[in-house]
Amino acid sequence: MTTKRIISAVLGIIAGLLVAVVFFADFNKAGENAAGDIKSKAEKVYVPYGELDEYYMMSSGGHSGQLFVYGIPSMRKIRTVPIFTPDPATGYGYSKETKEMLGGFTWGDFHHPAISETAGDYDGEFLFANDVGNNRVAAVDLSTFTTVDIMSLPNMGGPHAGVFVTENTEYIALPTRFARPLDNKYADLDKYEEEYKGVVSMTTFDKETKKFDLAYQIVLPPWSYDLSDAGKKMSGDWIVMTTYNSEFATTNLEINASQNDRDYIVLVNWKKLEEEVAAGNYHDVNGAKMIDPRDHKGAIYAVPVAKSPHGVDVTPDGTRYIAAGKLAPMMTVFSFEQTFEAIEKEDFTDEKYGIPVLSYESVMEREVDPPGALGPLHTQFDDKGNAYNTMFISSEIVKWHIETGEVIDRTPSYYSPGHSAAAEGDTVSPDGKWLVSLNKISKDNFLSVGPSHPESMDLIDISGEKMEHIMAVPVDPEPHYAQIVHRDKINTITVYEKDENRENSVWKQEDARVERKGDEVHVYGIAMRSRFIFDAQSDRPDAVTVKEGDRVFFHLTNIDLDQDITHGFGINEYDLNFEVQPGQTSTLEFVADKAGVYPIYCTNFCSALHQEMSGYLLVEPK
Amino acid sequence: MKKNLSNASVISLITAAIITVSTLFVPWWGMKFYAPQYPEGLDIIVYPSTLAGDIDIVNSLNHYIGMALFSNESFPELQWMPYIVLAFVVLILIVALLRRKSFLYGLIALFVIGGIIGIWDMYRWLKEFGTNLDPMAPIELEPFIPPIIGENTIANFVTHSYFSFGGYLLVLVFILLVFPLWKDRAK
C-alpha cells in the first residue's frame, strides 16, 4: 500500500517534470549564440571613455547644407558643420564674414564631400562640398572644421556630379546635372538640343589664401552628368563622368530619359584642356573661360555603357573605371589600358554630338551581374582588390573581386542604400576595415518620430572574407556620400593664434573702444571670462549706446587663449547671435533700426560666471 | 699676499661661477595647478628674469577670486635679478683669483644671506597675492598663503609648488663654495 503510494507519487512528479520540460524547455541553443554574437559586435564598436575613434567620417548632409562628422567605429556624431546653411549656434551666417560668404542664400544641397588629396591619398587639409541647389562650391578648413570659402559658379545647372578632386587637388571639379542655356540666357525648351549645354567647372583652391578660383569651364552636350571621379596614377590626367538623358528629353525624364539602351561614360583629358586654356583657346562666357573639348583632338571621348548608369569609380591603382548600372543592374569594369589603346588606334564606332565613341567591346573588361542584385549605385574599394557595391532596389551590399568578377559575399543593408563609404575607400590605398552603407530609408529601425522616418547609416565590418553587419544609427536628412579618413591625417588647432596685427582685433582690456564714423559705430571690444569690455573708458564698459538708424559693427576678440573657452554674443530681439572662439576676432554688422534697450549676453557657456557675462545695447530714438 | 686655497678649490669655485651663470637660462621655481577641467595642469614657471607658462589663463581664473594680476611688471625683482646673479659670479671669480680663504667665508655668508632674503621675498609675494584679495571679487575666499614647496588646495584647484633646475643648481653652487673649506682644512 505504502509502496504503491510512493511509486504513484514519484511517477506523478516525473510526469509533471516531463510535461514542464516539453512545454517550457528551450531546446533552441541559437539564442545563446546570438547573445554572444551581439556582444562581439558591441565590443567592435565600443570606444571606452578616454579613447578615441580611429576614423572621422565626413558625411554630406544633403539639402540641410551641412556636414555631419561622425567617429568610426563608434558611429558617434561629433559635430555638425554648417556649410551652405546659417547656424545660430556657431554664428555662421550671422557674423559679417560668414554672411557675405553665404551671399544671401539660406540653404544648399550638398551631395559629395571630397577631402583634399596629395598623390591620390587624403591629406586631411580641406574638404570640398558641392551645392546642387545653387551652383556653388565650398571649402571647409579641417584644422578648424569651419567653412572658409564659397564660390558661385556661372553657367551651371546644379553640379550634382561633383565634387571630386584630381590626384593632387590641382582641380576641384563639378559637372552639372541639368543642362541650361549659357550666360543665364532664355531659350525655349524646344531648342534644348541646340541651346542648352552641360558644363563642368574646373575650380582651383589656394591653400594659403584659402580662396577658390574658377580656372576654366568645359562645355558639353546637354546630357545629364550624374557622377564622376578623377583618374589616378596611369589615368591621372583624366576625369570620368556618367551621363544619362542621351535622349535629350525635356520632360518626364524618368520615362523619356530611359529609352536608349546605351548612355555614356564621358572621358575628358583635363591636362590637355589646361594646356589649351593656357594657350588662350577659350571663349569668355559670363566671366568664365569656356572651352569646348570637341575642338581639341584627344580631349574628349565617350564610352557606351548600359542605360542610365549612376556611379563611376576609378580603382585605387588607377587602372580601371567601374560603372554601376542603376537601371541595367550590373557593374561594368572598363580598362584604362584598353581605353588608351583604342584611342591610339582610333577604334571608334560612332560619333555622338561631335564626340568620338569608343567601341564598348574594346574597352570593356567584364560585366558583373550578381543574380537578383538590383539597382547598383556606387562602388567602394578595400585593400585586397575587392569592390563593394550598394544595391538600392535589392537593399544589399555586394562584395566582388575586381580582377575576376567573382562575387564573394552579399549582405543585406537595412533598407535601400544610396552611397557607401569605405575607410579611405577612394584613395590609392584603402584601409579595408569598415564600410558604412548610407541608407535612404530606415523604416521601423528606430523609435518613431512621426511620419518622417530618420535615415540610417549601417556599419559593416569588411576586414574579413565575409562582410559583417555591425550596427545601424539614425541620421538627419539626408546623407548622400561620405568619406572616411584616418584620424592621424586630421590636424586641428585648439585656439586661434594671437595675431596682434589682425584687422579689428583688440588684445588689451584698456584698448577696448567705441569709434563713431558718421552714422557708423565701430565697437572694438573683447570677450573674456566672464565679461564683455566694449569701451574701457566708460563707467559701464559693457554697455554701448548708439542712435536709431546707426550701422553698428561689433568687432569682438576673444582674448581667453584657453581651450574650449568659446564666447557667444546674442542681442535680445535683434535676431542676432554669433560666437568667437579663443583667440578669434569676428565682426557682427547690423543696422540698429529699433529704438530701445536690448540686453546683450554671452550665449555659449564659458565659465562658472557665464550668467554674469552680459551688457546692454542702448538705441536712442531719433 | 697669503694664498691659501688649493688648485682643486679654485677649480671648484670656477665651476660654481659657470653653474651660477647657467642658472640664468633655466627656471628656478614653479607652481602647477590641477583641476578637473585642467587635468593636464596649468603652469607658472619662474625664471630669474621672467615669468613663463600659462600666465594669462591663471590670471583669468584668479580674476574670479580677486587675486592681483601676475606679470613681469608686478615683480620688479625680475628686472634686476640677472644683475645680482652676475655680480655674484664676479665675486666668486675674484675670490678664486685672490685665493683667500677669509674672502671665501665672506662669499659663503653673502650666499646664505642672499638665499634667505630670496626665500623671504618669495614668501612675502605669496602672502601678498594670497591674502590681498579684491573684496569686490565675485567669489569670496578665505585669504591663503601657498607654500614655497608643497601642495595646497584652493577651491577646485590643487597646486604644487616646487623648486626647479635653477634652485637645485644653486644648491650645487653652495656645495661647490663650501668644498674648498673641506679641501683646504687645516691639517
pLDDT in tens, B66-79: 999 999 999 999 99
Give the residue ranges of DSSP H helices in B72-142: 77-98, 101-131
Smallest Cα distance from B44 to chain A, Å = 15
Cβ of residue A561 closer than 8 Å to a chain B Cβ: yes
Please confirm whether the linkage preceding A303 is cis (ω < 30° from 0): no
Q: Which residue has the cell 547609416?
A: A457
Nearest residue of chain A to residue B61 (CA atoms): A529
Give the whole-angstrom CA distance, residue A50 versus residue A501: 38
Enumerate residues 6+ apart whose C-beta is below 8 A from B184. Answer: B4, B5, B6, B9, B101
CB within 8 Å: A529 and B138: no
Mean pLDDT score of chain A, rounded to an integer? 93
Grid cell, residue A493, equals: 588647432
Which value does ipTM take for this structure? 0.82
* pLDDT over 90 (residue A13): no
Task: Name the phi and psi angles at A15, rounded to 5.
Answer: -60, -45
Cβ of residue A247 closer than 8 Å to a chain B Cβ: no
Tell me the CA distances in angstroms from A450 to A39, A444, A454, B155, one per residue in order. Answer: 31, 11, 10, 48
Burial A39-69 (b: 16+ CB within 10 A, else e): eebeebbeeeeeeebbbbbbbbbbbbbbbbb
CB within 8 Å: B60 and A612: no
Grid cell, residue A370, equals: 550578381
pLDDT in tens, A103-131: 999 999 999 999 999 999 999 999 999 99
Strand boundaries in A119-274, DSSP class E: 121-131, 136-141, 146-152, 164-165, 172-175, 180-181, 196-206, 211-220, 224-230, 238-244, 262-269
User: Taking Cα atoms as reference points, which of A128, A126, A133, A127 lies closest to residue A85?
Assistant: A133
Q: Is the dihedral of CA B166, B168, B172, B178 positive or negative?
A: positive
Partner residue opposite B56 with nearest CB, options A530, A561, A608: A561
Element (H, E) at A5: helix A2-24
pLDDT in tens, B84-131: 999 999 999 999 999 988 899 999 999 999 999 999 999 999 999 999
Check residues A255 and A164 and name the one with the higher pLDDT. Answer: A164
Task: Provide, as residue numbers in chain B, all residues whose Cβ is less than 8 Å from the Cβ of A560.
Answer: 57, 60
User: Taking Cα atoms as reference points, which of A393, A388, A241 lies closest to residue A328?
Assistant: A393
pLDDT of residue B110: 94
Q: Which of A497, A562, A607, A610 to mutate to test the interface with B (most CBs of B within 10 A)?
A: A562
Nearest residue of chain B to residue A608 (CA atoms): B64
Task: Provide, as residue numbers in chain B, all residues whose Cβ is less than 8 Å from the Cβ of A562.
Answer: 54, 56-57, 60
pLDDT in tens, A455-482: 999 999 999 999 999 999 999 988 899 9
Task: Provide, as residue numbers in chain A, all residues whose Cβ is less than 8 Å from the Cβ of B54.
Answer: 562
Q: Are A365 and A335 in contact (CB under 8 A)?
A: yes
Among A residues 528-557, those touching chain B with beta carbons less than 8 Å apart? 528-530
CB within 8 Å: B60 and A562: yes
**Could you tell me what percent of chain A has a pLDDT over 90?**
85
Domains of chain A: 55-489 (2.130.10.10), 509-620 (2.60.40.420)
Smallest Cα distance from B61 to chain A, Å = 8
CA gyration radius, chain B: 20
- Composition of chain A by helix, strand, coil, percent to 5: 15, 40, 40
pLDDT in tens, A181-201: 998 899 999 999 999 999 999
pLDDT of residue B3: 66
**Interface contacts A/B by beta carbons within 8 Å:** 20
What confidence category does residue A327 fall into, taking pLDDT thresholds of 50, 70 and 90?
A: confident
